[in-house]
Structure 1
Amino acid sequence: MTTAPVQASTFGNLLRTLRRAAGLTLEQLAERSGISTRAISDMERGHSRAPQARTLAALADGLGLDSDARAGLTAAAKEARSPSAAGRPRLCEPPRGVTDFVGRQAEFEIVRQAAIRAVEGDDLPPVLVVHGQPGLGKTALALWAANELRDDFPDGCLYVDLRGVDAVPLPAGDALLRLLRALGIRPHQVADSDDERCAQLRGILRDRRCVLVLDNAGSEAQVRPLLPAGGRCLVIATSRRALGGLEGVLRIALSPLAPEESAGLLRSIAVQAADPQMAQHVDRVADLCGHLPLALRIAGTRLAVRPQWTVGQLVDRLTDAGHRLAALSAGDTGVAPAFALSYAQLPAPTAQLFRRLAHVPAADFAAPLAAALIEAELPDAQDRLDDLVEVGLLQAEGVDRYRFHDLIRLYADERLHAEEPPDTRAETAERMNTWLLDTVVVAGRWYEPEYGGLPDGWAGLVPLATAEEADAWLRAEADNWLPALRTAAARGRHQLVADVAVATRWYSEETLRWRVWWEVRRLARAAANALPDRRQQAFHTSLYAWTAVYLMALYEEAEEAAMEAYRLAQSIGDLQEQARALGSAGAARVSLRRHDDALWAHRTASELADRAGDHALYVDLLTGSGYALEGLGRYDEAVGEFQRALTELDRRPVAGRPALTTRSGALYGVASCFERAGRAEESLHAVERALPVLIENRDEDMVAFALVLRGKARAALGRPAEARADLTRALEMLADSLPSRLEDEARVMLPTLDGTGSAEAQAELARALELLADSLDSRLETEAQATRAVLDDTDPA
């Protein structure tokens, strides 16, 4: 066994002395240790860093050292790794990493797997591109990963800051020179041209096991010449860009931290945040920082250096959106300057789009809206958006939508106010809002019987060639066009607000659960009242009443508004609007259980509609009469009224969409009457006839109600399993709907079909009785109480 020599001035000298004392050549020690001949030679000559623990152990085993000799070699290696070793600065040393790194476990696992492949050396050295918007901690991840993997790479970590976001990035030739010098190549040995230096670097890296961190890359041209072509190296490049031009690389797109990771980072930095009682405030700080690591570190540091502050006080400082970016700065570090580096690289047209996107009300948007902001063709806007994504100032959301990070949005707003005068900002916002609302009108009219298509010559930015495309756009941009409508109302653009409500009237019947319509109708009613046109006032007041009935269940308010609309229509002799208003009043009265008044309203309204020649409204009002008769318990008359409506539908020229809606209501009404009359067989037959039409009409509430009817009929006919399936499905569909009698009935019935007295059954009954506490339908409550008594095995009385 070899023992340590008495003298050895450096690690390289000691290694050479030990090898020779063991009678080994370089090749023999390489074979015994598994370390390459080139790597051992570079260590002995001092051209590479002293090895890490794993490599050191392999060398000691290969040399056959005893414990004292191992200790001496380890001490020499430790001394060689110290900053003052050899009396000269070390080139390409990585900067200090963070000591409180949190999260990124999934991303690190990707790096770790790449490191395993690198060590195995069966393929090209792996290249990882860690990319994303400013402030995500790309450099922190690269340095932390390199440190965690240091034992697998005995030749250490080489680090180069490529300064890709600087005004003058580091030329690839300069980076090559730095790496060659760091790898032990003396100045007179460095090749003359960049191409020759590339080959020289590849040749050296082929025999090394190191991690190469290429930080802040600005382009593929900076990175490509530095990549090894063989050997057992691992390359980690960081960039705000995805560097899509690099082939054969693995990209890791970073996103903001998870909420629990953000809170953990804050607690690791500031003692105030570690107080469990501050948990809610800590979560709020994390939200206000957008879970961006850079912002979180700055926020945590501000707390840490101000021990007199509380987390709540930091929340107060960050809550003001106008000053949040200023608050997220500490010393020479700030969130806004990090964004500014990317902004400074943008061409003027792209920079203009970036700051004008601050006008967009919602968190996300599509390219046509961007085109409207800058008055550009759609392909041009898409190119600029892609450029913003490329530099990390915008996030792609799905296939065709985009999103700002909250803090970058604030920065865009800062630039907007700093670089564009007030009149330009106002003009841009007005153009955007007008475009949004004009597009709403075109999209909504796909559903109007009088239109049902695009206007002649339509050449808008949005594809609206079908009703489905119109629906998709209205849903996707709702959080943008609704604020535009509010703005139009506040600025007194009354006719435009009213036009939007008219155009979306029929579409709203297909999306009844969408609470946005309540605000649309309220704004439209106020707008119409500001116009001199009484016909519009009557129409929008009536439409408001309809929405109050079917969307908000505000029946008394709905009746009051409907009768106001009726009087307005009377004052101008408008029979059609009188009929529509009375129809809404009748629907409200049915829900208020004033069925006689409801029957009068619907029958009077149907006569007015017939006189006005509005066939669609006429047959719809016949179904309203049917529901009033049902409420009065006159089931045979009600069925007759529903059948009359169906007959008139076949006889009169009613457009497809209104006809489908009325047919759905009439067919459902027949099934409901038979059920309430206790005629289960006829009810089952009627609901089976109604369901396909209800499904085609896409009214989920009515489909769910029909399932309740079918479930009740099947239960009465001795088919409990099928009944339970129907009622369970109905309750799932009604989970987000307004409370209703049929939903309560389904809850009451389910436990009776269970028959087990289970905890689930008891819970359903408790829920049903709670819902029925203030109900006018005492029959249902009595049934529920009786069922509970049966399940409790007690006397129902």
Structure 2
Amino acid sequence: MARKLGAASTRGAEKERSIITPTSFAESLRQYRHAARLTLEQLAEASGVSARTLSDMERGRSTGPQHRTVTALAQALSLGEDDRKQFIDLARDGRLRDHWTRPTGLCELPRSVDDFTGRATELAWTDDFVRAGDAPGAAGVALITGAAGLGKTTFAVRAAHVLRPSFPDGVLFVDLFGMSPRPLTVDDALMHLLRALGTADRLMPHDLLERASLYRSLLRQRRVLVVLDNAGSEEQIRPILPGGGPSRALVTSRRLLAGLEGVHRLSLGPLPPVEAAELLTGIVAKRGSSDGGAAISELAQFCSGLPLALRIVGNRLVSRPAWPAAEFADRLADKERRLDQLRAGDLKVATAFGMSYEQLAVLARRVFRRLSLVPGRDFDADLADLSSPEEAGHWLRVNVDNWLGALRTAASGGRHSAVLDCAESMYWFSDRWMHAPHWHEVFTLGAEAAAALGDPARQATQLNSLAWVHLVPRDDPETTLRYTAQAMDLATRSGATAQIAWAHHNTGGALRRLGRLDEATASETQAAEMFKANGDIDAYCQCLGALGTCLRDAGHYAEALEQYLDLWALLNDDRSGMTPSIAAFTRPIALARVGECLGLLGHRTEAIIKLTEAISLMEQAQLPVPQARSLETLAALLADEGRTGESRQAYARAAEVFEAIGDTEAAGRCRDLATAPH
């Protein structure tokens, strides 16, 4: 028995010596696994380390796995204290050899610029991304997107330098050349990264899937930050993203790469004006001459917060110390030559934009070139998706600089037909935005274009529109009468009966404003008869309303109320033949007139109800001019009823709307009444 125990002891000692002898981690792991009588799959299940990774370790592909991986293996192998210590030490030695023998200069991170400015919020975002990435199941990829020249690469490099202490196993950088005619292939990108991670060429898999698998397994064992700059597509970067573990990736791209799932996204925008000026000031400080703050601010403004443009401007000034910044600002003031000035050596804003342009399809390039003709500062894509007059009206308000600038450009270029078509198409919208200051110019250009085309009927239309401008928004009835006289003459000579009727209608409005009520009634009656004969029910209803107003101004309140109630019934009759949008536009105005007449007849309670409803409808339809006047009428009725608080609120609201439409006199009057003692 003793002899058997002794023999067993001897065999145990020999087994221990055979395991301790190896000098590499790979050999040690293989012998400990064999001694434990475990297959790769069994050890993988016991330790939580994949069989593929274990195989790479035993073959020497991974000579220095991470500490937590090694301790998990030691526990699964049930190693004693001494064996465990030596096992862990061999892995640590392997990691050190990996670090010092890794080929230098491969995928090295570029230097960070000394004068990097701003982006504090965005840098904090990348720090949060790294910290959040430690949570189970969190995405290990941050995607930084933005247009050309916004400094995505500079920002990503800066962030990587700041984050370097959090990645003890290294920071790697690869330019994918996504916007160039020949982007870096996935095969080549993986080869560069694997070499940087210490994989010898003789061990480099030839198959793409195997190469990507090896890359992910190496990242899973280490804490590495990979910066993938200038990605061109989802397909280009999917195989080179970390597949889990402690490693992280920062990806930059001009494209949104919307197909990437489960990534953190950061959209980089222009620098704010203060930071833009600060960056430019920091760059030009190197040239040793003092530049006026005003000139620097102006230069920064011309660069529109674009870091590339700011860098170019700063570098040009630094390279020519005697060149005044103000002189350079004068050059950049010329919009037609600005892009040519934004170049310094191999840095060119035009080149950055050109790379994106070259990626576009032929049709998209044509659209891009035509967009350059848009005269406003900004434009949007909403014009391609307008489904109602309300949406069209919203677009016209937001993009007034663009369509009005286009109209001016067409007029200066002698494109009379286009100008006239545009002016005529704005007729419906002018009623909805009557307080806008542009209508006199729009319809003047239209009238001039019609005259140049020798079309008196269409010229009469534009002159009637100008008469409306001076009647409603400008409240200048004398000028209105001059335009209606011209319109009447042209319309009569050309036989344009519709424009003759409109001239009578506008004349009636001007005469009423001048207190010539009998003449106004005659003109409006003649216009109403002509519109009715022509079957223009929309215009006929406007004349009915105008006749009611003449009766009201003449003090015939009961007759005026009857006229407005007839109009109200017609507006709500589905068989009337009115255009629904015109009826919806006219309805709140007619209802307000009913309320006014009720108030004048002493029926204040009913009047307040009608006016309140009308004002609500006007706000929905965006009719601020009649809304402001109705609010003032409502406020007076509320005051007469002793409802002081409500009256003050109505006057205050009327003041706000009058202020918004530019009627400062009426705004001041209502503001005074809102605060006056009662």
Measured against the shorter chain, the TM-score band is 0.7 to 0.9
Matched with 1:146 is 160
After superposition, residues 228-307 of structure 1 pair within 5 angstroms as: 228-271=242-285, 278-307=292-321
The structure-2 alpha-carbon separation of the partners of 1:743 and 1:583, relative to structure 1 and needing over 3 Å to count, comes to: farther
Looking at structure 1, the residues matched to 377 and 184 of structure 2 have their Cα atoms a distance apart, in angstroms, of 36
Q: 1:154-173 deviations in whole A, cap 9, x for unaligned?
A: 22312222233333333333
Amino acid at match of 2:449: A
The structure-2 alpha-carbon separation of the partners of 1:540 and 1:228, relative to structure 1 and needing over 3 Å to count, comes to: closer
Matched with 1:128 is 142
Matched with 1:522 is 444
Q: Secondary structure at the match of 2:660?
A: coil
Matched with 2:505 is 583
Determine if contact 1:190/1:197 at 8 Å carries over to the other structure: yes
Determine if contact 1:125/1:228 at 8 Å carries over to the other structure: no
Match of 1:216 among 196, 210, 230: 230
Determine if contact 1:549/1:588 at 8 Å carries over to the other structure: yes
Determine if contact 1:156/1:210 at 8 Å carries over to the other structure: yes
Looking at structure 2, the residues matched to 159 and 514 of structure 1 have their Cα atoms a distance apart, in angstroms, of 54
Matched with 1:655 is 578
Q: Say if 2:668 is the partner of 1:749.
A: no
Matched with 1:715 is 639
The structure-2 alpha-carbon separation of the partners of 1:480 and 1:210, relative to structure 1 and needing over 3 Å to count, comes to: same
Q: Say if 2:124 is the partner of 1:109.
A: yes
Amino acid at match of 1:92: C
Q: Say if 2:431 is the partner of 1:509.
A: yes
Amino acid at match of 1:148: V
Post-superposition offset of 1:612? 6.2
Determine if contact 1:579/1:606 at 8 Å carries over to the other structure: no
TM-score relative to the length of structure 2: 0.75
Q: Say if 2:559 is the partner of 1:640.
A: yes
Post-superposition offset of 1:294? 0.9
The structure-2 alpha-carbon separation of the partners of 1:501 and 1:192, relative to structure 1 and needing over 3 Å to count, comes to: closer
Matched with 2:463 is 541
Q: Secondary structure at the match of 1:206?
A: helix
Matched with 1:412 is none
Post-superposition offset of 1:330? 1.1
The structure-2 alpha-carbon separation of the partners of 1:714 and 1:486, relative to structure 1 and needing over 3 Å to count, comes to: same
Match of 1:336 among 350, 353, 363: 350
Post-superposition offset of 1:345? 3.9
Post-superposition offset of 1:116? 1.5
TM-score relative to the length of structure 1: 0.65
Match of 1:610 among 516, 529, 537: 529
The structure-2 alpha-carbon separation of the partners of 1:346 and 1:743, relative to structure 1 and needing over 3 Å to count, comes to: closer
Q: Secondary structure at the match of 1:48?
A: helix
Matched with 2:65 is none
After superposition, residues 458-607 of structure 1 pair within 5 angstroms as: 466-468=388-390, 471=393, 479-490=401-412, 492-494=414-416, 497-569=419-491, 577-588=499-510, 591=513, 594-596=514-516, 599-607=518-526
- Computed over aligned residues only, the root mean square deviation of the Cα atoms, in angstroms, reads 3.9
Looking at structure 2, the residues matched to 648 and 674 of structure 1 have their Cα atoms a distance apart, in angstroms, of 15
Looking at structure 2, the residues matched to 658 and 401 of structure 1 have their Cα atoms a distance apart, in angstroms, of 24
Determine if contact 1:163/1:170 at 8 Å carries over to the other structure: yes
Matched with 1:735 is 659
Determine if contact 1:266/1:300 at 8 Å carries over to the other structure: yes
Determine if contact 2:524/2:547 at 8 Å carries over to the other structure: no
Paired residues, number: 590
Looking at structure 2, the residues matched to 28 and 290 of structure 1 have their Cα atoms a distance apart, in angstroms, of 61
Looking at structure 2, the residues matched to 342 and 507 of structure 1 have their Cα atoms a distance apart, in angstroms, of 38
Determine if contact 1:667/1:686 at 8 Å carries over to the other structure: yes
Q: 1:334-371 deviations in whole A, cap 9, x for unaligned?
A: 21222233334445454444334434444555xxxxxx
Q: Say if 2:62 is the partner of 1:48.
A: no
Amino acid at match of 2:147: Q
Looking at structure 1, the residues matched to 82 and 371 of structure 2 have their Cα atoms a distance apart, in angstroms, of 68
Post-superposition offset of 1:182? 2.5
The structure-2 alpha-carbon separation of the partners of 1:329 and 1:487, relative to structure 1 and needing over 3 Å to count, comes to: closer
Determine if contact 2:628/2:657 at 8 Å carries over to the other structure: yes
Matched with 1:379 is none
Looking at structure 1, the residues matched to 83 and 618 of structure 2 have their Cα atoms a distance apart, in angstroms, of 85
Determine if contact 2:471/2:480 at 8 Å carries over to the other structure: yes
Post-superposition offset of 1:658? 5.3
The structure-2 alpha-carbon separation of the partners of 1:273 and 1:535, relative to structure 1 and needing over 3 Å to count, comes to: farther
Amino acid at match of 1:595: G
Larger Rg: 2
The structure-2 alpha-carbon separation of the partners of 1:708 and 1:307, relative to structure 1 and needing over 3 Å to count, comes to: same
Q: 1:269-292 deviations in whole A, cap 9, x for unaligned?
A: 113999999444334323322321
Q: 1:733-770 deviations in whole A, cap 9, x for unaligned?
A: 333113176544321211125x8xxxxxxxxxxxxxxx
Determine if contact 1:114/1:234 at 8 Å carries over to the other structure: no
Post-superposition offset of 1:544? 0.9
Determine if contact 1:642/1:667 at 8 Å carries over to the other structure: no
Looking at structure 1, the residues matched to 560 and 348 of structure 2 have their Cα atoms a distance apart, in angstroms, of 72
Q: Secondary structure at the match of 1:251?
A: strand
Post-superposition offset of 1:145? 0.9
Looking at structure 1, the residues matched to 271 and 511 of structure 2 have their Cα atoms a distance apart, in angstroms, of 53
Amino acid at match of 1:601: A
Looking at structure 2, the residues matched to 697 and 206 of structure 1 have their Cα atoms a distance apart, in angstroms, of 61
Determine if contact 2:374/2:406 at 8 Å carries over to the other structure: no
Matched with 1:95 is 110
Looking at structure 2, the residues matched to 347 and 608 of structure 1 have their Cα atoms a distance apart, in angstroms, of 55
Amino acid at match of 1:604: S
Q: Secondary structure at the match of 1:217?
A: coil
Determine if contact 2:270/2:307 at 8 Å carries over to the other structure: yes
Match of 1:313 among 294, 305, 327: 327
Q: 1:101-122 deviations in whole A, cap 9, x for unaligned?
A: 222233222321221144x374
Unaligned runs of 5+ in 1: 1-23, 50-85, 366-396, 403-461, 756-797
Matched with 2:66 is none
After superposition, residues 150-229 of structure 1 pair within 5 angstroms as: 150-229=164-243
Looking at structure 2, the residues matched to 122 and 218 of structure 1 have their Cα atoms a distance apart, in angstroms, of 29
Determine if contact 2:172/2:225 at 8 Å carries over to the other structure: yes
Determine if contact 1:545/1:584 at 8 Å carries over to the other structure: yes
Determine if contact 1:549/1:555 at 8 Å carries over to the other structure: yes
Q: Secondary structure at the match of 1:149?
A: helix
Post-superposition offset of 1:581? 2.4
The structure-2 alpha-carbon separation of the partners of 1:255 and 1:660, relative to structure 1 and needing over 3 Å to count, comes to: closer
